[in-house]
Structure 1
Amino acid sequence: MLKWVVIYAGVIAGGALGLQALEYRRLVRADAGAWPQLLVAVAFLALGLFAGARLFGRHPAPDPGNPPAQAALGISARELDVLREIAAGRSNKEIAGRLAIAPNTVKTHLAHLYDKLGARRRTEAIARARELGCCPSFSYQCAEITLSGDCRRPGCLSWSWVFIAAKGASMLRNILVFGVIAGILVAVPTYFIGVATSDGPPPAYGMLVGYTAMLVALSLVFVGIKRQRDLAGGGVIGFWPALGMGLAISAVASILYALSWEAVLAATGVDFGAQYAEALVAAEKAKGVSGAELARYVAEMETFKTNYADPLYRLPTTLTEIFPVGVLVSLVSAGLLRNPRFMAARRE
């Protein structure tokens, strides 16, 4: 696992480093002093990923069911896996993909299960297994379900829609939980550093702490997707659902980050746009820039000050500081976690 943590952290850190370098060059031109700070931030990102894997990588093992009944019927461990998969409403092709076996092998296991359980179809096998306690991981509101997914008993919802709705609710809950946690991790340092340093231009350590908090917070994108895959998804998640979830978590965190910066400006009353522009003009003068080039740069900074005073310009600008990093983390996380064997949950 440590190998994959290092690889993941390296990819994310490299991408985040590139994004931040572009942003830094755009605002303050080139400054070699920023690179050591970003490297420290990368180290904290790796620490956050490792801590997340340790905290959320282990999950309770599922109820083993009724081992004496399973032994008496001669149901093997693999047949029990197939039984639980059909209880979840999955097709033979889906079961084959999840268990990494051939579709014909699934049919063979089903034939054995029907024979051992005295069943002629899937619904009878599921009902019989539930009576014996061999399939405890899934419960149904209706035992009389046809192969098309219809329920014969009045007032009973189709089990497939109940299953889909439960997964959707779980994903939304995880998005909100991990998005808010990530937002708090990045918003709190932003607020207190912003208030503490409002009397002057941003200090060098402000960027260090800010981007460290940003990278550590966005590592929760990976943790959130993995938790959704391992708990709600039964160890499987597609690339697009994972990417969508990662972007949603990043969006929630980015909004909280932007709101925290608005809170800093409201609490201090500081004109950050003017303060920042003056610092950049002073830096250009210190480099020896003068004449027409300096005048052009001053005009650019005057435009920046005017635009930054408008919340409709300021809020999107603040969001672009963090959301592109979230997009990068989401893409890499979705690409890795779509493989069910990548950092598979360990059962105890």
Structure 2
Amino acid sequence: MQRIILIYGLIAGAIVSGMLVISQPMLSQGIINYDNAMIVGYTSMVIALSVVFFGIKTFRDQEGKGKISFGTAFKIGILITLIASLMYAISWEIYYNTMGTDFMEQYTSYHIKKLQEAGATVEKIEATRKEMATFSEQYRNPVIRFGMTLLEIFPVGLLITLICAALLRRKEILPQNA
């Protein structure tokens, strides 16, 4: 079980971390904006975490002889998710502390510019500027930043794990090859 969890967790982590490293320079160069980056980011998370399905199915077919309980499937999926989530958060920390040191300034500027273009009042813009300054200060703390990064990906993996565990406990779903 541990071998399957490790292999599929590392595959999922490599995919999501690779997409992070590819998309962030595109963001800072203006190829994509922060709204598009969110779509790209969550799409890459779903794609990467689809590996959970294959990890659970591999265990079911190889070690469970075509059968798996919801609990065992959930355990495998959540551990794959945990490995991928940790790799994603570590990748962000490395990126943030090397090439993305101006991330919060760019993020704040983007939101302020969007408000201005939408015709927001001066009061609304100043309130947002103050909120973003408070958020930027909190984001400087690596423990808070790491936790926030984990909270981006882990719920996605939890949902995928629940769906996959529910589906694959039924041996009729993609039955084991004879």
**Quick check: TM above 0.5?**
yes
* Aligned counterparts, 1:312-331, within 5 A: 312-331=143-162
3-state SS of 1:332 partner: helix
Is the aligned partner of 1:191 residue 2:21? yes
3-state SS of 1:270 partner: coil
Structure 2: gaps spanning 5 or more residues? none
d(CA) in 1 for partners of 2:127, 2:36: 30
Which of the residues 90, 114, 133 maps onto 1:302?
133
Is the aligned partner of 1:220 residue 2:84? no
Code of the aligned partner of 2:12:
A
Structure 1 runs (4+) greater than 6 angstroms displaced: none
**C-alpha deviations, 1:147-205, integer Å up to 9, x for none?**
xxxxxxxxxxxxxxxxxxxxxxxx11111100000000111121133245435695365
The normalised TM-score by structure 1 is 0.48
Residue in 1 aligned with 2:118?
Answer: 287
Code of the aligned partner of 1:190:
L
**C-alpha deviations, 1:188-224, integer Å up to 9, x for none?**
1211332454356953654444333221111000110
Give the length in aligned residue pairs. 177
3-state SS of 1:346 partner: coil
The normalised TM-score by structure 2 is 0.90
d(CA) in 1 for partners of 2:73, 2:172: 15
Residue in 2 aligned with 1:252?
Answer: 83
Residue in 1 aligned with 2:107?
Answer: 276
d(CA) in 2 for partners of 1:328, 1:269: 29
Contact kept? 1:201, 1:275, Cα under 8 Å: no
Is the aligned partner of 1:335 residue 2:152? no
Code of the aligned partner of 1:295:
E
Residue in 2 aligned with 1:179?
Answer: 9
d(CA) in 2 for partners of 1:303, 1:217: 33
3-state SS of 2:119 partner: coil
Q: Give how far 1:263 is off.
A: 1.8
Contact kept? 1:277, 1:301, Cα under 8 Å: yes
Q: Give how far 1:295 is off.
A: 2.5
**C-alpha deviations, 1:49-82, integer Å up to 9, x for none?**
xxxxxxxxxxxxxxxxxxxxxxxxxxxxxxxxxx
Q: Give how far 1:315 is off.
A: 0.9
d(CA) in 1 for partners of 2:83, 2:14: 10
d(CA) in 1 for partners of 2:90, 2:133: 25
d(CA) in 2 for partners of 1:304, 1:201: 25
d(CA) in 1 for partners of 2:132, 2:13: 30
Structure 1: gaps spanning 5 or more residues? 1-170
Residue in 2 aligned with 1:6?
Answer: none
Q: Give how far 1:324 is off.
A: 0.8
Q: Give how far 1:326 is off.
A: 0.4
Contact kept? 2:49, 2:160, Cα under 8 Å: yes
d(CA) in 1 for partners of 2:174, 2:143: 42
- Alpha-carbon RMSD across the aligned residues, in angstroms, is 1.9
Q: Give how far 1:314 is off.
A: 0.8
d(CA) in 2 for partners of 1:220, 1:269: 28
Contact kept? 1:229, 1:235, Cα under 8 Å: yes
d(CA) in 1 for partners of 2:132, 2:98: 24
Aligned-pair identity (%): 38
Larger Rg: 1
Q: Give how far 1:280 is off.
A: 0.7
* 1:343 to 1:289, Cα distance in 2 relative to 1, 3 A: same
Structure with higher helix content = 2
Q: Give how far 1:269 is off.
A: 4.8
